[in-house]
Structures are given as structure tokens and as C-alpha cells.
Chains A and B, each alone.
Chain A
Amino acid sequence: MSALEPQAATPAPARSAGAGVSTSAKRRRHYSLLNRRDKVLLALMVGLPLAIFLVLIWAMAIVSIVLSFTDWQGYGSLHFIGLQNYIYLFQSYPAFWPALSHNLIWLLVFVCFATPMGILLAVCLDRPLRGSFIYQSIFFTPVVLSLAVVGFIWELQYSPLAGNGFIDSVLASTGLMSPNSTPDWLGDPSINIWAVLVAASWRHIGYIMVLYLAGLKSVDPSLREAAAIDGANERQAFFHVVFPVMAPINVVIVVVTVIESLRAFDIAYIINHGKNGLELLSTLITNNSISEASLIGFGSSIAVVLLVISLVPIVLYLSRVMRSEEQ
């Protein structure tokens, strides 16, 4: 990694004599062509944005951790209370475990349904097929919509009969259900998370499809030809040849899927501010600390839980980037 260290260890006379400098001089050629003004400029170009990023993103994450050990409510001095926020969160706060399990359900639905569906569509659309581009455009359209708009569009489907929701109107007018027993898809806390997940999957499938399709296009076609010559059918070729070479993309897909389910916020917020069956870690944070109450310390402890969970996919991703960088 560093060309500088061995050189620093070399005695000064040897360096001035020019013996053994050739390798490090070669590596350092960039530096020798830069004058001082260029170096300062370069440091500013990278350093200033880096400083702003560190302050607004990483420092805020650290401040969240610090605040989670306090009972701060937005005024006065900080009063540290140890682990009390966490104890209350895990043992007594009624919304915490539902929220965590909803995030988990979200992740499971994405992992078991939406992501495989996106991959399946990508595999279907990767082969020469008439109208492939039109199919791709249709499946991808939900991805360009704001999640707030997605929430509204699906509310039109899910509203109760009295609100003229489409699904309930169909159920009632076709006689499949009596008008009194049509479900309140978004209001009933035992089913609304699933209704929301249909809307979220609607958007996630297209996203994964496009990412995976790009990965498939980058696979060397001769690999598949070789597999075909060896007598592999399409399914065998995909699982034994294409899927393994796609390892880097597969990591991206896993990371995107996990991160998207941890970030889930907008649709739940649009529908009922993330309550009554739609609690998520993200909505608990904002409801406790910004929108409705000012329990900064307590809200921060929820943020720390979310931070710790999201570090898993982030570390996974970084280790992959590191590995590819070393090669």
C-alpha cells in the first residue's frame, strides 16, 4: 500500500546517491510532477467535501450513539443515564418489538419474494425475446415513482369499501364477500403490513431486475456457449456457470435488499405515520424525537439499534470492495 515507508527507512546518504531509489521513484512519479500549488488544490478538492461528509454523516451517527445514553429532550445540559434508554426500549416500550419484527418481515418478503422475482425477470428478459425492452420498461416504471406517490396509488386500491377502494369494491360487487365483511387492508393491524409489502415489492422487483440484468449482460457470452457445448441446459448453465461468475453483483443485490428494508419509511409514513400495525424502526425514531415528541435520547437509542443492524450489510459490502480493490 505505501511506497513511502521503506524509503523512510533508507539512510539519507544512500538516497542522495541514487542507489535503490529506482522502484520508489517510479511509484512516486505523480508526486514529483506536482508543484506545491497543485498539491494544495488537490488536498482541498478531496479534503473539503470529505470534511463536510464526515461532519454531516459520520459525526451525526456518533452523536446519535452519545445521545442514546442521555435523557436529553432538546433543552438544558446533557444528563447521562447509562443504559436506561435501552433497558426501557427492550423491556417496556410496546412498539419496539413489533417494529423490529416488521422490519424483519419486510426483509424476509424482499429476500424470499421480491428479490428472487426481480432476478427471475432479469433472467427471462436477458435472452433474445421480442418486446424485451417494452417489458423491461413496464417493470421498471414503479422505480421512478416517489414512494409517497406509490403510497397514494396503492391507497386507491386498498381503501375500505366506504372509501371506494378498488379491491373491496370488486369483492363486494362480485359477491365474493358481503359488503360488511370486506377487509380494511390498510387499517387492520393484522394485515396492513402485508398490504404495504405488496406495494413495496411492486417497486423493489423492477429495481433488482435492472441491476441484475446489467450484471447478466456483463457475463462473458463464451462462458454460456461453452456450457451449452458441454450439454448443460439453460437452468444448469445459469446455476452452475452464470450465477457463480456473478458473485460481485450478487453481493450488491444482497446489500441493496437489506438496506432497502432497513430504510423502509415513506409508504408506512404516508399511510398512517407508521402506527397501528405499520411500526418500523425508522418511524419510531422520527415519531419519538422529531414529529410528535422530543425524546431525543430515547429516539437516539432506536437509531443506534438501526445503525448496528445496518452495519452488517455495510461491512459485507466494504469487505467486497476492499477485496476487488486489492486485486
Chain B
Amino acid sequence: MAGQRTAHNRARRRLSRVGLHLFLIVLAIIFLWPLVYAVYMSLRPYGEIVANPTGPFSLPATLNLDNYFAVWNAENIPGYFWNTAVITIPSVVLTLWIASMVAFGIAKYSWRLNLLVLMIFTAGNLLPPQVIIVPLYRLYLLIPVPAPLSDNGLMYDQFLGLILIHTTFQTGFCTFVLSNYMKTLSKELVEAAMIDGAGVFTIYWRVILPLCRPALAALGTLLFVWIYNDFFWALMLFKSGDKRPITAALNNLSGAFFTDPTQLAALSVIAAVPTIVLYLILQRNFVRGLTLGSTKG
């Protein structure tokens, strides 16, 4: 009787397991479909789709990379990627550096105001960027910036301006994450270094930063993807299309390829490849960066 019941239970559990897999597989296919379809479209000659009465639903006669060559030759794609690099890399490095300093100041020394400081950063990071964009846009038109840093004498329409707002905005999030991380490090290390006569900067640079390396790696990966993917700031704070990073340039380019969805697909794939590759290589870092902020503190 008892044996029968456990056998029955086991069968039921196996059935529910199969059901779960079925559910997850169906969902995984639905999730992958738009991506797979974009890649598939980018490989098909548009003429063939138009000629076929069932359109994109038809089976392909040829698949090739012609759409990629066409997009690459028609537009300055390497130029847009260069813009992305010029904006993203300094923003990530500066954000990690500044946020780690602020977090160090907040977490390792008990000030009366440190909770307030933390709240100013965290709450600011949660504001929708559209709340501040109008005054910020006007401010960028007012701030004079000397020649080597700006080619129009302003903060507007400059890489510098974009790096500044990315760094500021993301510092809010990273400070929060890093200060929580630093609180988990042992206080004795800092005290021992102080007794040995180490100054504040030495403690920050030699003791704390090396211990934060895992958190910095995780946040760095996350920041890179976020800033690479930014559309809003680049769209609002750049006038010149040729200065825009790849994601914001998509907005202009979509007009040029509007009549040919296969080239639009190729363009989307080109823009998506760097983050997907980075994600596949550094998946654990990426997920850790996201969850560091939510599970601690």
C-alpha cells in the first residue's frame, strides 16, 4: 500500500517535471523567436521576399550576408561604434572610480550625514531622466567649455557632456551598491592600516579597492551594457547625427532603410552583437552586478 503510494507520487512528480520542461521550452522558443527572426531576415535578399506571394513567411532560396555589406557600405558604422567607445569607456571607468570613493567615504567612516548622502544618490538615480532633461538641456546650452574639450564652445552636442551625465547618473546606483559591499568587508583591516600610519588615500587605494574587485568587475560589466544601450541621453544631448553612438544613430538610420526591412534587421543585429557577446562571455558578472544592488542593503 505504502509502496504503491510512493510509486504513484514519483510518477506524478515526473509528470509535473515533464510539464514544467514543456512550459519552459515553449516559453524559451517564444522568447528567442523575435531575435532568431531578425537574424533570419537579415540574411535574406529583400527582392526574394517581395517577389513571393507569402512574403516573409516563404521559404528562403538564398541566404547571404549581402544586407550586412550594404548597410556597412552605406553608413559609417565603424564611426558610430567609435562614438560609442569614446562615450562608454570613460563613463564606466569614471563612474567606478568616483562611486568607489564616495562609497568608501560613506561606508568606512561614520559621519552624521552619511545616510543622507546615500539617500541623495540613491533617490536621484531612481528619477526618470525625463524629469530633468529640459533644464539639463538648457544648462548644456549655457555652460561654456574651452576648445580642446568642446568643438562648439558648449557642453551641448559634445562627448564630454554625455560622459558627464552618464557618470553622474550612474554614480548614484554604483555608490549604493558599493557602499553596501564595503560594509561587508571587515573593519579591522582599515583600523590595522590606520594604526600602521596609512593615510586615507592609501587605505582607499591599497586596502579597500583591491577587496572590492569582484563588485567592481560586476558593476563594470553592467555599466558598460547600460551605457552602450543608452538611447535617451544621446538622442537629447546631441544635435549632430554623426556624433551619436550606435544605438541613438539607429533612430536616424531607420529612415534610410525604411523601405527595406532586411537591411533594418541587419542594422539591428550589428547594434545588438557587442552586448550579446559581452553578456555571453561575462554572464555571471552581469547578473551579479544587477543583483548586488537588490539583495544586500
Given contacts A30-B109, A202-B31, A290-B137, contact A259 B126 (CB under 8 A): yes
Whether B69 is near chain A, meaning CB under 8 Å from some CB there, is no
Docked CA distance A296–B133 (Å): 11
B129 to chain A, nearest CB (A): 7
Docked CA distance A148–B247 (Å): 6
Given contacts A146-B271, A157-B34, contact A60 B101 (CB under 8 A): no
Given contacts A145-B229, A146-B271, contact A166 B295 (CB under 8 A): no
Contacts of A170 on B, CB cut-off 8 Å?
A: 57
Docked CA distance A252–B290 (Å): 12
* B169-A270 in contact (CB<8A): no
Using CB atoms, name the residue of chain B closest to A154.
B34
* A289-B172 in contact (CB<8A): no
Docked CA distance A296–B294 (Å): 36
Interface bits B241-258 vs A (CB < 8 Å: 1, else 0)? 000000110110010000
The 6 residue pairs across chains A and B that have the minimum distance between CB atoms? A214-B291, A146-B229, A46-B105, A60-B132, A63-B135, A282-B130
Query: How many A residues have CB within 8 A of the partner chain?
Result: 105
Whether B82 is near chain A, meaning CB under 8 Å from some CB there, is no
26 A-B pairs in the complex with CB atoms less than 8 angstroms apart: A34-B200, A42-B200, A45-B105, A53-B120, A56-B136, A64-B131, A124-B23, A131-B21, A135-B28, A141-B35, A141-B279, A146-B247, A148-B229, A156-B261, A156-B265, A164-B50, A214-B291, A214-B294, A218-B295, A252-B294, A259-B128, A289-B133, A303-B131, A306-B130, A313-B126, A322-B115
Docked CA distance A61–B132 (Å): 5
Docked CA distance A187–B122 (Å): 38
Residues of B within 8 A of A (CB): 17, 20-21, 23-24, 27-28, 31-32, 34-35, 37-38, 41, 49-50, 53-57, 98-99, 101-102, 104-106, 109-110, 112, 115, 117-124, 126-139, 164-165, 168-169, 171-172, 175, 194-195, 199-201, 204, 225, 228-232, 235-236, 247-248, 250-251, 254, 261, 264-265, 267-268, 271-272, 275-276, 278-280, 283, 286-287, 290-291, 294-295, 297
Contacts of A141 on B, CB cut-off 8 Å?
A: 31-32, 35, 276, 279
* A41-B201 in contact (CB<8A): yes
Instruction: State the majority secondary structure of interface residues on A.
Output: helix
* A147-B229 in contact (CB<8A): yes
